[in-house]
Structure 1
C-alpha cells in the first residue's frame, strides 16, 4: 500500500492572534495522490476518523477533494467496493473544489465559499501558493475566524454576519431542493429570529425512503449559528444509509460526539479551569418509507404531529425528555424509536419550539401546542403551501407587538 503523509505546515496562530488570510486557516491533513487506489483511500479515512475530506495532489498540484460521506456511501452500494477497490481514487473525487490562494483575505474567502455552495462547508477548501498545494481549511474554522474579525472591527460585524447568513442559507439550500424533488405536497419554513439563527434542517433521499430532521440548537443569532455548524458537521459525519433508518441510535451517537466536541463530560469546569458550556440541541429525527407507509420517529424534546383524514384530533408523538449534548444528558442515554403505519392522506409536521413558546395574545401567554394542533386540524385539507401560510399568519397575528423569542422552523409533508 502506498504510504500517505500529513502535510507539514506552520502551527496555527495563538488564540490572541487575528487570522486575516486563507493561510492562517491551514490545518494538518493527510493527502492522497491519483496513483492511490480506492482501497488505499478507504484505509486513510479509516485511520483518520476526523477527516471530512481528503485532498488529492499530483506532485504539488491539487486536483480534487474526496468527500468522506459521499465516498463511504458509494462504496456501500452493491458491488461498488469490489469494482473500484483497485482503481484510482479519482473516480470518487470532486474535480472542482474551492481553491484559494494563501493570501486571499477572509472576507473574500467567505464570499467565495458562499458562491461555492454547501460543499465548501462540508468539504472545506484547498489553500495554494500559486499552483502549488499548501494544505486545506474547514468551513467551521472559516466561520470561527470571521467571528474573530467581527469582535475587533464593528464595521465588519454586520458584513460578516451577512456573509454568515449567506453561508447558512447556502448550506440549507440543497436540502430544500432535495425535498422539492423527493416530496410531493410539502413545505419547509425556516425563519431565524436574527440575521442568522440556531435552527436548521436536514433531508436525505434514499431509494426506499427519506430521512428528515428539524434541529433547534442552543441560542440564536451568531452563537446559535455557530452551534448549527457544530451540529450540522456532526450529523454529516454520522449520517449514513444505516443510521438514517435508526433515528434513536443516530441521536445517541450525536450525543456522545457533541459532548466530546464541547467537553461536556464531568463537573462544572475542566482541568484547564475553563468553564464548560452547557450547549446542545433539541431535534425531531424521522425515517419515512412512503411506499410502505412506514414512519420511524425519535425526538429529543421535540414532538411530531400527525393529522390523518377523517380523524377529529391531531396525533402528537412526544419525544424523550433529554436534549442532545447537554451536561445533564448522560453519554449512554438512549432515545426511543416510535414506529407507526401511516394511513392514507396523512400530514406529518415537525417544528422547533419557536412557534409554541412565543408569547402573545391578550393574555401574553405562549402560543402553545394546543393552538398549533387546532390550526393543523383546521387547514389539513388544504395544500401544504396554504397550510404553511395559514399557520405562519396566525403565528404573526398572535405575536402582535411582542418581541420574537426564538428562531422558527416548521416542516410539513403529506404522505
Structure 2
C-alpha cells in the first residue's frame, strides 16, 4: 500500500506478483476462448505479437498497479475474505483505453479493444488467487469485517424466516441455503458476507453511511425513493457480477454451473426487467436489515461520493427545473385528453428544453471542473492541518464561496471567502478573488492578513471597475483570512462578514471576525485590522460563510441562525474531526427536513484542530 515495499509500488509488484498474476491471466483467458470457440484471439488482437507470448503476459501484468492507482483503486493483501471490488463499466473502459495507449505500436482495432477489455475483467480474479484484493478507500474506510458478518447474519436470518413461511418444501434439507448461518457451505456463507460488505457501499451510493444506534434510542427510519432504489440496484448488480468473476465465472448465453458461464454477467442496462426487479427487491430490504441489527443510516456530504462514478449525484437547480418541466408537460397532456396534435407539440417543446438544459448544464459542469482545479485538494489541506474538515456545498453546480490553504517556511495561511450571490456570477467573482489572493499570499509573500486583504479588495474593485458609476459592478465579498504559526500556536487573522469561532475548554467564542460595516470600502479606504489569538493544543477553529446560518427550515420555516450554528459547532466539537464534517451535514439535512427546503445559498464550513 505504501510507495515503498507494497503492492502499489511497481518495482515491488513486478518482483512479487507480476509472474503469478500473468500466469493466472493467461490460463483464464485460454479457458474463456475455449468456451467461446474463438481459436486465434491473440493473432486477431496483435498483428506484431512478440516472439515470446509469455513475455507479453508478464509485461501486461507489470502495468496493473499504475493504472489501478490512476482511478483510485488500491491493492492490499487479505486474510480470510476477499472483498468484492466495485469497478464500473466506465472504469473498465478507462482501463482498456490505458492498455491500448500503453501498447501504442499496434493499431487500435476492435479485436484488440475487446481483448484488453476481457483481460480487465480477469485481473481481480488473478489478484485474488495471489492473495490480494482491490479496494476503494471510500467504500472500505467505515466498514469492518465484524460489521459485515453481523449484517450477513441478519440478512440470512430474514431469509430463513421467509423460507419457513413458505413451508417445508422451501426450507427442507435439500436446500443448502436453508442451514443456520454457521452451518452454511463456505461458498454460500462467503457470498452472504460479500453482500453484507457492500450494503454500506449501496447506501453510500445514495449519500448515506451507517452507524450503531445509541442505546435507548430508536433507529431513524430510512425511506428509499424510486431513484435511490434504482441506483442501489445498479450497485447490487455490480457487486454480484464481480463476486461471480472473482470465483471464475464469465459471460455465456446460457447458465452452465460446470463451466461457470452466466447470461446475466452483462451491464445492468442489458438485464431483463425481471432480473432488474430482483436487484430492486434486495435493496428494498436494506432499511429492515438495519433495524434488525440496530443500525441507522445518516446522510453524508457529497464530498464522500464525488469520486464514486456509480453514486447518485445531487440534483442541481437546472436538473430540478428540467424535471419540473417534464412533470408539467405530463399534466398538460392529461388535461388535453391526450390529443395527438397537442402531444406532438408538447414532445417537440420538451425535446428543445431538454437539449437547451443539457447545453447549459454542460457549461456549468465545465465551470465546476475549472473551480475544482484551483481550489485546494484534500491532500493540500491535510498537509496544512491533518486534523480538519471542509464542508463545501454549492447551491448550484458552482460556488461563490472559495477557500485557500498555503504553507510556506512552516507558516500556514488559510481563509474563506463568500462572494455576493451564487451560481455562475458569484463563481466568476470567486475565480478573480482567488487569483488575486493567491498572488498576495504565494507570489508577493504578503504575510500580514489585513495587508493581504487590502491587496485583494483593491484588485477586485479594479477588475470590476467599482469606481465607475456607469459600468462598474458593486458586488463584493465577505472574507476571513488567517496566518498560523504552529511552532508557537499563534493565530493572526483579519476579515469582515465571514465568521470565525474559537472552541477551547468546552466553550465557544463569539464571532471573532466582526461584521462587514456599511461604507467600509468607500473612497478607496479599507478598514481591516489584524488581530492575534494565542491557541493551545487541541483548540478548534471554525470558519463559516453565511449560507448555513441563512438556510430556511425547521417546523416554522425560519432561518437556522448564528446562535443555533454556534451551539451546533460546540456540540460537535466533542467528536473527532473526521466525524464532524458528516455531523454538520447531517444537521443541515435535518433542518431542511421532510419538506426538503431548497438550499438558498452556497454553504461552506471549515473545521480545524490545532
Q: TM-score range by the shorter chain?
A: 0.5 to 0.7
* Greater RCO (Cα-Cα under 8 Å, separation 6 or more): 1
Which residue among 572, 575, 593 is the counterpart of 1:379?
A: 572
Q: CA deviation at 1:354?
A: 0.6
**Residue correspondence of structure 1 range 68-79 to structure 2 within 5 A:** none
Aligned: 1:405 with 2:608? no
Which residue among 359, 362, 368 is the counterpart of 1:165?
A: 368
Q: Where does residue 586 of structure 2 map in the other structure?
A: 393
Q: Where does residue 498 of structure 2 map in the other structure?
A: 302
SS at match of 2:511: strand
Give the whole-Å Cα distance in 2 for the aligned partners of 1:223 and 1:191. 17
**CA deviation profile, 1:252-285 (whole Å, cap 9, x unmatched):** 111111111111115x32xxxx3x3111211110
**CA deviation profile, 1:225-263 (whole Å, cap 9, x unmatched):** 111111112112222477553111111111111111111
Aligned: 1:312 with 2:507? yes
**CA deviation profile, 1:15-44 (whole Å, cap 9, x unmatched):** xxxxxxxxxxxxxxxxxxxxxxxxxxxxxx
Q: In 1, are the aligned partners of 2:501 and 2:508 still within 8 Å (CA)?
A: no
Q: Where does residue 226 of structure 1 map in the other structure?
A: 428
**CA deviation profile, 1:80-109 (whole Å, cap 9, x unmatched):** xxxxxxxxxxxxxxxxxxxxxxxxxxxxxx
Give the whole-Å Cα distance in 2 for the aligned partners of 1:237 and 1:337. 19
Give the whole-Å Cα distance in 1 for the aligned partners of 2:358 and 2:520. 36
Q: In 2, are the aligned partners of 1:358 and 1:404 still within 8 Å (CA)?
A: yes
SS at match of 2:507: coil
Q: Where does residue 210 of structure 1 map in the other structure?
A: 412
SS at match of 1:355: helix
Q: CA deviation at 1:155?
A: 4.8
Q: Where does residue 287 of structure 1 map in the other structure?
A: 483
Which residue among 229, 235, 238 is the counterpart of 2:437?
A: 235
Give the whole-Å Cα distance in 1 for the aligned partners of 2:429 and 2:558. 28
Measured at CA, do residues 240 and 319 of structure 1 come closer, stay the same or move farther in structure 2, by a change above 3 Å?
farther
Q: Where does residue 337 of structure 1 map in the other structure?
A: 530
Q: Where does residue 182 of structure 1 map in the other structure?
A: 384
Please identify the structure whose Cα radius of gyration is greater. Answer: 2
Which residue among 403, 418, 430 is the counterpart of 1:201?
A: 403
**CA deviation profile, 1:101-125 (whole Å, cap 9, x unmatched):** xxxxxxxxxxxxxxxxxxxxxxxxx
Q: CA deviation at 1:162?
A: 1.0
**CA deviation profile, 1:187-229 (whole Å, cap 9, x unmatched):** 0111111111111111101222200011111221111111111
SS at match of 1:316: coil
Measured at CA, do residues 244 and 287 of structure 1 come closer, stay the same or move farther in structure 2, by a change above 3 Å?
farther
Q: In 2, are the aligned partners of 1:298 and 1:336 still within 8 Å (CA)?
A: yes
Give the whole-Å Cα distance in 2 for the aligned partners of 1:381 and 1:154. 44
Measured at CA, do residues 346 and 242 of structure 1 come closer, stay the same or move farther in structure 2, by a change above 3 Å?
farther
Q: In 2, are the aligned partners of 1:210 and 1:287 still within 8 Å (CA)?
A: yes
Q: Where does residue 316 of structure 2 map in the other structure?
A: none
Q: In 2, are the aligned partners of 1:278 and 1:327 still within 8 Å (CA)?
A: no
Q: CA deviation at 1:344?
A: 2.5
Q: In 2, are the aligned partners of 1:164 and 1:196 still within 8 Å (CA)?
A: yes
**Residue correspondence of structure 1 range 13-412 to structure 2 within 5 A:** 155-172=358-375, 174-240=376-442, 243-265=445-467, 268-269=469-470, 274=471, 276-308=472-504, 310-322=505-517, 329-400=522-593, 401-412=596-607
SS at match of 2:524: coil
Measured at CA, do residues 330 and 302 of structure 1 come closer, stay the same or move farther in structure 2, by a change above 3 Å?
farther
Q: Where does residue 144 of structure 1 map in the other structure?
A: none
SS at match of 1:170: helix
**Where does structure 2 lack aligned partners over 5 or more consecutive residues?**
1-354
Q: TM-score, normalised by structure 2?
A: 0.40
SS at match of 2:583: helix
Tell me which protein shows more strand as a share of its residues: 1
Give the whole-Å Cα distance in 1 for the aligned partners of 2:558 and 2:604. 20
Give the whole-Å Cα distance in 1 for the aligned partners of 2:431 and 2:511. 29
Q: In 2, are the aligned partners of 1:175 and 1:202 still within 8 Å (CA)?
A: no
Q: In 2, are the aligned partners of 1:284 and 1:297 still within 8 Å (CA)?
A: yes
Q: In 1, are the aligned partners of 2:415 and 2:482 still within 8 Å (CA)?
A: yes
Give the whole-Å Cα distance in 2 for the aligned partners of 1:335 and 1:342. 22
SS at match of 2:488: coil
Measured at CA, do residues 241 and 222 of structure 1 come closer, stay the same or move farther in structure 2, by a change above 3 Å?
closer
Measured at CA, do residues 237 and 245 of structure 1 come closer, stay the same or move farther in structure 2, by a change above 3 Å?
closer
Measured at CA, do residues 243 and 339 of structure 1 come closer, stay the same or move farther in structure 2, by a change above 3 Å?
farther
**Where does structure 1 lack aligned partners over 5 or more consecutive residues?**
1-151
SS at match of 2:390: strand
